[in-house]
A and B are shown apart, each in its own frame.
Chain A
Amino acid sequence: MTAAIEVRDLRKRYEGVQALDGVSLTVPEGSFFGLLGPNGAGKTTFISILVGLVRKSGGTAEVFGYDVEDDYREARDAIGLAPQEFNVDRFFPIREVLEHKAGYHGIPADEARERADEVLKRVGIYEKRDTRFDWLSGGMKRRFVLARALITEPDLLILDEPTAGVDVQLRHDLWDLITELNDGGTTILLTTHYIEEAERLCDEVAILDSGRIVAVDSPEDLMDRGADRIEIQLRNPPAEAPTLTAGEGNVENVELDGNRLVVTARQGGLVAPDVVRELDREGFEIVDLEISRTSLEEVFVEMTRGQETVGGEDEDSGEDDPEKATAAAPGTSGGAGGDR
């Protein structure tokens, strides 16, 4: 099966900054793939290379087997992008904006109109169809960029921080919608700051840091790499923390906090019974036991800790790529400069 995204040794250098430093990644067709990384890690640069908004400095990038530069038309036709920054045509009502986008992808006018109505209903803003983008609320704008990504019925849907700054209800609506799309066979590439979102939705997650992939795995397996916390309350605590032999090397630390013994261990669920048995043998009476699974967020923080990030700025301000911030002085203010 052809991969939805196949990149090898992908590099992007802006003046003085290596935004992507040899990224190799395969996103299988039909998967729900998460791309996590701190601000400035290179996530938006990665996405932008796929759709042709950033030119790579080296390496190869293919979408469904089409090279993003040599076969750019086929590659772009396969992608629906809902970017983090709102880059919507402000001259036309939103239904017309959707019709135009569909038309650019070769969809005839009649069908484009039907699809526009359909996707507006699907994201719940059909009643605003004759409104211009600037007059939509923040949540509606977020829904609209998703509708725009969907109108071409893409095989690969790329969502760059789709739930940034939206309320809980909308977040759940969006989750339901994209899960439904993925169930229907659409490959989803999701970047997010909300680790819970990746944990909940993604089959596979790549962690990107300072332009490099530091891990690719399922959220479950990634969490197995982190250390769980086993808290054991003892009726007769010792004077100092005992040395445990249980856990086959998975135990990383043992601390005594009053009558609570805190054991930090990888794969805590598997280690806990052995620890309990050993304590029992040693004559300790166990009153209570609690295992806290490490979260993906903790694993994420651990993996990206201490790395100097490329941008260092808040990604919500569109400054994932430092160069973009300057190049896109064209870039932010809606409708500035009047109409000529």
Chain B
Amino acid sequence: MGVFPTGFKTLTRREILRFVRRPRNTFVPPLITNVLYFSVFGVILGDRVGQIAGVPYILFILPGLVVLGAISNAFENGSFSIFHGRWNEYIHEALTSPLSYSQMVWAYTLSSALRGVIVGIIISVVGAVFTSVGVTRPLYLVAFAVVITVLFASFGIVGGLWADDFDDLTMMNQFILRPLVFFGGVFYALENLPDGPLQTATLLNPMFYMVDGVRYGFLGTSEVNPNLSLAVLTLMAVVMVGINTVLFKRGFGLTD
């Protein structure tokens, strides 16, 4: 049986194969989008912006775009996979099997997180084509990448359980995820904001700490203590996985 039970491995594999076999739906869109982001924000506008937080603008936004792509895809995978399974009821194949609730949740979470990490890597490679970027703190980068994708995969699962139709999924992405990302320090540094509500809002946005942590992994500079960010985000991820396990156990969105 190995370290992981066969049931857990099978569901995880199934979930990974689902997105790996459909690159046109899963990997090509962020690739194209990020080529556009780097072209417009990095090259065309970046020269006008100049340096921000001590680095060229294109280099400054690279970690933010990696975070944006990684968490969006982790979220989208988790929400879509659960919701589509509910919509067509084939999630019953897993639900009526002897998988434990935590095995189900971890399988959906880790596979969705993996999609986020893969998209993050794709965006990093695209960024490397446009500008010279290194990885100053690889362990931090890996740790932040894993934690934030697990966290947003978990949010996605909640969304997939909660949604009643496909519009709800779009709504979550457009009205919750994107504003958090755009006001989370992807395109600007905290120091660029005037003191007051805008700074406070940014500091209250969990996205800010994620972007700041990933930026620390790439560039070695951060605006807040990366250890604290990592600890808080890890705690949030663990709590979310726990919440999802309870939701599965209670059959929220899954059973009548």
Contact = CB atoms under 8 A, between A and B. Distances in A.
Interface string B231-256: 00000000000000000000100011
B10 A330 contact: no
Interface stretch (A33-41, A90-98, A267-275, A289-297): A90-98
Nearest to B73: A340
A100 B96 contact: no
B93 A324 contact: no
Given A79-B96, A340-B25, A334 B256 contact: no
Given A48-B256, A89-B90, A105 B98 contact: yes
Interface string A113-148: 000000000000000000000000000000000001
Interface string B80-118: 100110111110111111111000000000000000000
B88 A103 contact: no
Contact of A81 (B22, B26, B83, B96): B96
Contacts of B22: 339
A106 B98 contact: yes
Interface in A296-339: 321, 323-324, 327-331, 333-339
B7 interface: yes
Contact of A321 (B11, B98, B256): B256
A73 B98 contact: yes
A27 interface: no
B232 to A, nearest CB: 30
Contacts of B99: 73, 104
A330 B96 contact: no
Given A104-B94, A105-B97, A336 B256 contact: no
Contact of A330 (B86, B98, B255): B86
A329 B89 contact: no
B178 interface: no
B90 A104 contact: no
A242 to B, nearest CB: 58
B90 A53 contact: no
B140 to A, nearest CB: 30
Contacts of B88: 87, 90, 330-331, 333-336
B164 interface: yes
Contact of B93 (A100, A321, A336): A100
A91 B22 CA distance: 10
B84 A337 contact: yes
Contact of B87 (A55, A85, A103, A336): A336
A334 B251 CA distance: 23
B90 A88 contact: yes
Contact of A53 (B9, B18, B95): B95
B7 A105 contact: yes
A104 B87 contact: no
Nearest to B164: A329
B87 A87 contact: no
Contact of A104 (B21, B84, B93, B169): B93
Contacts of B1: 106
B5 interface: yes
B242 to A, nearest CB: 19
B96 A52 contact: yes
Interface string A40-79: 0000000010011111000000000000000011101101
Given A74-B98, A337-B87, A100 B10 contact: yes
Name which of A85, A105, A106, A107 has the most chain B CB atoms within 10 A of its CB. Answer: A106
A79 B96 CA distance: 8
Nearest to A51: B96
4 nearest interchain CB pairs? A103-B10, A104-B97, A87-B89, A330-B87
Interface of A: 14, 48, 51-55, 72-74, 76-77, 79, 81, 83, 85, 87-92, 97, 99-101, 103-109, 148, 321, 323-324, 327-331, 333-340
15 contacts: A53-B96, A54-B256, A74-B98, A77-B97, A85-B89, A87-B89, A87-B92, A87-B93, A92-B14, A97-B93, A103-B7, A104-B93, A331-B87, A334-B88, A338-B25
Given A76-B97, A87-B92, A331-B89, 20 more contacts: A14-B256, A52-B96, A52-B251, A54-B256, A55-B255, A74-B98, A77-B97, A81-B96, A90-B90, A103-B7, A103-B10, A104-B94, A105-B98, A106-B6, A330-B83, A330-B164, A331-B88, A337-B84, A340-B76, A340-B77
